[in-house]
Amino acid sequence: MKTQVAIIGGGPSGLLLSQLLNKAGVETVILERSTRDHVLSRIRAGILEWGAVDLLREAGVGDRMATEGIPHDGCYLTDEDLMVHIDFRELTGKQVMVYGQTEVTTDLYAAQDKMGTQILHGVENVSIHDLDQSQSYVTFRHEGEEKRLDCLFVAGCDGFHGVSRKTIPEEKRSEFERVYPFGWLGILSHTPPVHDELIYSNSRHGFALASMRNENLVRYYVQVPLTDTVDDWSDDRFWHEFSRRIPSEAASRLVTGPSIEKSIAPLRSFVSEPLRWGNLFLVGDAAHIVPPTGAKGLNLAASDVFYLHQALIDAVKGGSTTGVEEYSARALQRIWKAMRFSWQMTTMLHRFDGEDSFAEQMRKSTLRHLADSETARRDLAENYIGLPY
């Protein structure tokens, strides 16, 4: 097999990159380890920066998002009954879009099918070769046969556990990591949202987030110890805990119901540098992970794709390699700013086991400062709605 850009991983990063490259006449083949059903069963975050919205539109996948997505003008950060409104619209002139990653991925698969892109599912033993040569190739096992895909470039879009990052020699990689001592238990439930905007809640019982997918589907989270499992959390226990962590004004309107999905995700900050190794480029979760508190995971994947698709089009179509040479540094600048924001949101809103009483006061005074200072709110809003590409 032969293509111009081999894409490892058919998650949102790989699909969006492929779609944008194909639209510009650059050929791709996507190699995905799982089945499509499995990829689409993963429930992930639900907030898109406007830059990501524009990029999805440019990719030709904006139609369903335009009718089913919900633009949000602001969100709340709260501490017990103190509710700080962050008015994105007033502070930055911009909005974000509530539209689940699962929907984004569904739309991208549909668009790629229409485009006729080859997406191989169930590939095993992916291995990347000759990255320092003018042409590279990827070997893998598919439907019981060993196969080889020749290409000019390889995009490593295979997530945190993928093979791409590990193809870069260990001594050439720098990794930066912080693992947080808690996870998020998330549920989906067919109930009306407790508020028309998201609520990020600091409380003495720990963090909670009230998010949503539509007017009758909520996504709610509570901070839990890493040792907890889903079996420790009956629906009743979840609702009890959630309602005591959000402000009483919101809790008084809470509608509960059976959960239709329940999962626990650990929180981590991680960056691997550089993002380029010869003809290989890392994109999205393959190169970096953020804790979900800033809603930046998918959005950072989108900005990586933005820089890389332009660079690859220039290299394949225009013969200019400036973009590919600059990709790693350009993307990393934005990645580190989102890392800082996600870490700041996480430390501002979570209880850390064994923390001293000073730490709690620092969180409270940060929230109080946000309530009193428009400058502080504008800084938060500017980061939340997404820094420019």
Asked if 31 contacts 148 with a C-beta cutoff of 8 angstroms, the reply is no
Residue 6 binds which entry of ligand APR, ligand PHB, none, CB below 5-8 Å type-dependent: none
Q: Which of 31, 280, 295, 305 binds ligand PHB (CB under 6 A)?
A: 295
Determine the interface stretch with ligand PHB among 39-47, 158-166, 360-368, 375-383 (rule: CB under 6 A). Answer: 39-47
DSSP 158-213: --TT-SHHHHS-GGG-EEEEEEEEEEEEEEEESS--SSSSEEEEE-TT--EEEEEE
Which of 206, 292, 323, 386 binds ligand PHB (CB under 6 A)? It is: 292
156: tokens are: 């490593």
Selection from ligand APR, ligand PHB, none that 285 binds (CB < 5 to 8 A by kind) is ligand APR
Show the site string, 81-110: x = touches ligand APR by CB under 6 A, - = not: --------------------x---------
State yes or no: residue 189 binds ligand PHB (CB under 6 A): no
At its nearest, how many Å lie between ligand APR and the CB of residue 32?
5
Query: Which of ligand PHB, ligand APR, none binds 163 (CB below 5-8 Å, type-dependent)?
Result: ligand APR
CA diameter of the chain: 64
Q: Please, where are the H alpha helices in 180-321? A: 235-245, 248-251, 297-313
Q: Which of 327, 280, 20, 32 is nearest to 155 (CA)?
A: 280
Nearer to ligand APR (CB atom), residue 138 or residue 367:
138
Q: Closest approach of Cβ 34 to ligand APR, in Å?
A: 4
Beta-ladder partners of 119? 30
Number of residues that bind ligand PHB (CB under 6 A): 10
Contact criterion met (CB below 8 Å) for 129 and 138: yes
Site string for ligand PHB, 297-336 (x = CB under 6 A): ----------------------------------------
Q: For residues 15 and 208, which CB has a smaller minimum distance to ligand APR in the complex?
A: 15
Residue placing its CB nearer to ligand APR in the complex, 29 or 123: 123
Residue from 161, 196, 174, 176 nearest 76 by CA: 196
Which structure tokens are listed for 162? 């993928």
Q: Is there a contact between 51 and 303 (Cβ–Cβ < 8 Å)? A: yes
364 included as an active-site residue: no
Clarify whether 71 is annotated catalytic: no
Could you say which of 12, 72, 220, 288 is catalytic? 72
Our answer to whether residue 292 is catalytic in this structure is yes
Residue 218 CB, nearest distance to ligand PHB (Å)?
Answer: 9
Residue 91: CB atoms within 10 A of its CB come to 19
Q: Which does 323 bind (CB under 5 to 8 A by kind): ligand APR, ligand PHB, none?
A: none
109 is catalytic: no
Give yes or no for a contact between 183 and 266, defined as CB atoms under 8 angstroms apart.
yes
Element (H, E) at 359: helix 357-372
Considering CB under 6 A, how many residues would be counted as binding ligand APR? 28
